[in-house]
Amino acid sequence: MPRFCPQCGTAAAAGGRFCTQCAAPLAGGPPAAGGWQHAAAGTAVLTVFLGAGLAIWTSILSPAQTKSLASNRPSSAPPAGAAAGTASDLPEGHPKVALPTEVKSFITDLAAKAKDHPTDVDTWSKLAQVDYRAAQLDPTYYPEALHAFEHVLELDPKNADALRGVANVHYDRDEYKEAVPFYERFLAVKPDDASARTDLGTMYLYAGDPTRAVATYKDVLKQNPSFLQAHYNLGVTYHQQGDDAAATAELQTARGLATDDGVRKQIDGMLATLAGGGPPAAGAAAAPAAAAAPSGDGARSPFQQAVEKALRGHPILGPRIVRFEWSGPGAGRVVVENFPMQGMPPAVRDKFTSHMGEELRSAQSANPVDGPVRLDVADAASGSVMATLTP
**Residue 305: per-residue pLDDT:** 87
54 Cβ contact list (under 8 Å, min separation 6): 97, 133, 136, 137
How far is Cα 306 from Cα 240, in angstroms, rounded to an integer?
11
pLDDT digits (tens, 9 = 90+) for 87-115: 333 333 333 446 778 888 889 999 999 99
pLDDT digits (tens, 9 = 90+) for 155-175: 999 999 999 999 999 988 888
The mean per-residue pLDDT over the stretch 42-64 comes to 39
User: Which domain-ending residue is among 190, 210, 238?
Assistant: 190
Give the three-class secondary structure for 350. helix
175 with 73, same domain: the answer is: yes
Residue 280 lies in a domain: no
Give the chain's domain count.
Answer: 4
User: Which domain-ending residue is among 252, 275, 298?
Assistant: 275
Strands, sheet with 385-389, edge to edge from the N-terminal-most edge strand: 321-326, 331-336, 374-379, 385-389
181 with 252, same domain: the answer is: no
271 with 327, same domain: the answer is: no
Residue 107 lies in a domain: yes
Strand pairing report for 374-379 and 331-336: parallel
270 with 291, same domain: the answer is: no
How far is Cα 128 from Cα 61, in angstroms, rounded to an integer?
20
Range of the domain at 18: 1-31
Closest by Cα among 220, 375, 256 to 312: 375
Read off the CATH number of the domain in which 130 is found: 1.25.40.10
Read off the CATH number of the domain in which 306 is found: 3.30.300
pLDDT digits (tens, 9 = 90+) for 22-52: 344 444 443 333 332 333 444 444 444 444 4
**Residue 68's pLDDT band (cuts 50, 70, 90):** low
264 with 322, same domain: the answer is: no
Whether 255 and 267 have beta carbons less than 8 Å apart is answered as yes
